[in-house]
Chains A and B, each alone.
Chain A
């Protein structure tokens, strides 16, 4: 078995940390830059547009074609840029993964790839002092289409819609790709000014996972020598206890399957000692094939192919979702409510708890086998100000008692029910 997973943290600039994870078990290395922003209506669309524009061209590699060729020459180095919502934070991520030099008998080439990433983040292609206009215009159109196509994946669309309705008056309702209405206000100048601000004021976390030496650490320090201003502080998520909106939302779409989502407020922050009890409770309810929902909604009543329960860590909400026949709407809700009540009454066994603990611990440990998940894991620890080691995280899961689960699950309040249906084909 491998020794425990550690990340070494070095502050290398004003609000810039370098996190190093030494391992030689993978056939690749990974370098990621995370820029943290608050999730606000004002900047969400701009944040989402930025990676799309930056990926189009840099001062050195003027077109996407040149960038792609450079990546391909370097053994298909994998470049990925993403924008994600983490609670009420908006996170921009820039990542490259490269094959370890020993497999392609070229140890130095990874610096070529790092230089490319640096160029994409810090030296974008400019035209008259701003982003290239045609790139911005095209990517605005692409972003618009991306936002529109969220309907294509009906399951995740239903979940997003439930969150939007439930957290209507909270920043958490902002969609991670922003809003179509905000696009016309953004041009190459507006976006470039936002970019300048973002580079100067965002907290930045850099992760490197793989083999490294002193030269590489020096290289990273050099890379972080950029102009910085006052670093913004990002507020913690608002936690709502008890139902806020009390909604019943129907959406009529031309679909074959109904999508049901139940949104609960948990009122339990991730810092609370009951948080692990909530995770176990949610897993007993709708985690895997041994869960109460799988057994009752799927196996016993044949109502659904999928039905599950998920805790949204940063926002302290829990969502249950399933795909069902339109007509089974009420029946399914009844069973779900009944199963939650069962857990609240303590009607589950020590065996159920053990199973959920095993499952949680196993997926936590599995992080060690993925170069990408290692950096994501340590990054999420930073987001939640959590200094525990992976081993301590596992021990805390083990400490959860039946009382914790009952107590945590008793705090649930149903806030919003969302149902995607098709009234044209329903027999009602």
Chain B
């Protein structure tokens, strides 16, 4: 039996783990005194996995944009067509999300947790796609796409990704386009499903005032075991040049003031596990020192009326891509951009002081600890970190290990004039 208990004294939390015979990995964090329980069942499959070798086949297949997200919608279909009703009757709140890297199915409950867990496993493991229900979904998703098209924050973000990346599928909208989803049919959906929803490519995470044994019993009874023996899934990513695609993308739409994203494309890719998460932490600390609300840059531009409290920066990265984004709203985004470029020309040692580093590190520790109050925060972050080979329970000790010298090195290699882009949404006249 592959079971394990991890314990963090600093966090006062425990993590239980077991690998089932089916290959499915189950994790659990007990939360004494919590009223709610939360379960999240996720596949290592997101919008960037759009070229792969389907299970049992030899040749790579390119699938239409938006199919992972479409599949997420369609898994809620069952022959009796009453999944939502079943969850609602149990008092459980069921939902799902698809991002660049994962598809996750989840529910929160205050009662009937085990019945709901069984239902979750059951519906995710039993797809039911018909021509009719697939076609019906196209109208609904078209409205979801339209809704995002009217959202200036979403558009400025995707235009920034378009500017940074040449070929990498992270530049493609997660829901696809109204045209691309028309090409989706039930055969393609089954192909994606059979390839990526194998238990070996999934994880189940549970949190709440519960017992691990009972959870395992329910998983054992509910899960399907007749899966095709899965080999490592072959995912094909295009070659992504270091060079950025476009220096600037501007667009006009219904918005009050111009909004912008300044993106730094990460060249230091290919990392996983602790190395990747450390890079993430280091880069986010740098961004906070340089552009956070206690930075000179922020306060000077704020005084000048060039930015408002919506300004800030964050880094996000996975094995095959990564970027720092500095975002905000401004009358003159280009002026903000120029000032930022001037800033990064200065020597790292003058921009990033050790006392600032220590303060921001303290802040990052505190924010993480406060995040652990929320079972949803824990669940969603657990899954995200897990698929990059890192356990949430080790996060604080890794954070404590970050040193001042780490940030100086990273600054010099990441914040340059060659890898920076600008995306602006201007108001209509």
- A residues near B (Cβ < 8 Å) are 1-2, 25-28, 63-65, 68-69, 71-78, 97-99, 103-104, 138, 141-142, 145-146, 148-155, 253-257, 288-290, 294, 298-299, 302-306, 323-325, 351, 354-355, 358-359, 361-363, 365-366, 368-371
Q: Mark B301-336, 1 if CB is under 8 A from A, else 0.
A: 011010011000000000000000000010000000
Taking a contact as CB atoms under 8 Å apart, the answer to whether B256 and A304 are in contact is: no
Determine if B293 is an interface residue (Cβ-Cβ < 8 Å): yes
Determine if B1 is an interface residue (Cβ-Cβ < 8 Å): no
Please name 5 further chain A to chain B contacts, defined as beta carbons within 8 Å, in addition to the given A27-B369, A64-B302, A256-B149, sorted by A numbering: A68-B293, A149-B256, A289-B88, A365-B110, A366-B36
Query: What total count of A-B pairs have CB within 8 Å?
Result: 182
Taking a contact as CB atoms under 8 Å apart, the answer to whether B91 and A2 are in contact is: no
Q: How far is the CB of B146 from chain A (nearest CB, A)?
A: 4
Residues of A within 8 A of B146 (CB): 256-257, 323, 325
User: In this complex, what residue of A is CB-closest to B293?
Assistant: A68
A72/B362 contact (C-beta < 8 A), A64-B302, A254-B254, A370-B373 known: yes
9 residue pairs from A and B, CB less than 8 Å apart: A68-B293, A76-B370, A78-B367, A104-B369, A138-B305, A152-B255, A290-B88, A302-B140, A325-B143
Partner of A97, one of B257, B364, B370: B370
User: In this complex, what residue of B is CB-closest to A143?
Assistant: B308
Taking a contact as CB atoms under 8 Å apart, the answer to whether B147 and A305 are in contact is: yes
User: In this complex, what residue of B is CB-closest to A68?
Assistant: B294
Complex CA distance for A300 and B151, rounded to whole angstroms:
26
Residues of B within 8 A of A306 (CB): 147
Q: How far is the CB of B165 from chain A (nearest CB, A)?
A: 24
- Per the CB 8 Å criterion, the residue count for chain B at the interface is 68
Taking a contact as CB atoms under 8 Å apart, the answer to whether B35 and A75 are in contact is: no
Q: How far is the CB of A64 from chain B (nearest CB, A)?
A: 6
Q: How far is the CB of A286 from chain B (nearest CB, A)?
A: 13
Partner of B294, one of A65, A256, A304, A325: A65
Complex CA distance for A73 and B360, rounded to whole angstroms:
8
Residues of A within 8 A of B85 (CB): 290, 351, 355
- B residues near A (Cβ < 8 Å) are 10, 12, 32-36, 84-85, 88-94, 108-111, 136-141, 143-144, 146-147, 149-153, 209, 253-257, 259, 292-294, 296, 299, 302-303, 305, 308-309, 329, 359-360, 362-367, 369-370, 372-375, 428
Taking a contact as CB atoms under 8 Å apart, the answer to whether A358 and B91 are in contact is: yes
Partner of A64, one of B33, B293, B364: B293
Taking a contact as CB atoms under 8 Å apart, the answer to whether B305 and A77 are in contact is: no
User: In this complex, what residue of A is CB-closest to B141?
Assistant: A305
Q: How far is the CB of A293 from chain B (nearest CB, A)?
A: 13
Complex CA distance for A149 and B309, rounded to whole angstroms:
13
Residues of A within 8 A of B302 (CB): 64, 138
Taking a contact as CB atoms under 8 Å apart, the answer to whether A104 and B366 are in contact is: yes
Complex CA distance for A104 and B362, rounded to whole angstroms:
10
Residues of B within 8 A of A76 (CB): 362-367, 370
Taking a contact as CB atoms under 8 Å apart, the answer to whether B34 and A355 are in contact is: no
User: In this complex, what residue of B is CB-closest to A134?
Assistant: B303
Q: How far is the CB of A288 from chain B (nearest CB, A)?
A: 6
User: In this complex, what residue of B is CB-closest to A151?
Assistant: B256
Partner of A305, one of B140, B294, B373, B428: B140
A290/B34 contact (C-beta < 8 A), A68-B293, A72-B362, A323-B147 known: no
Taking a contact as CB atoms under 8 Å apart, the answer to whether B88 and A256 are in contact is: no
Complex CA distance for A373 and B109, rounded to whole angstroms:
17
Partner of A323, one of B34, B143, B292: B143
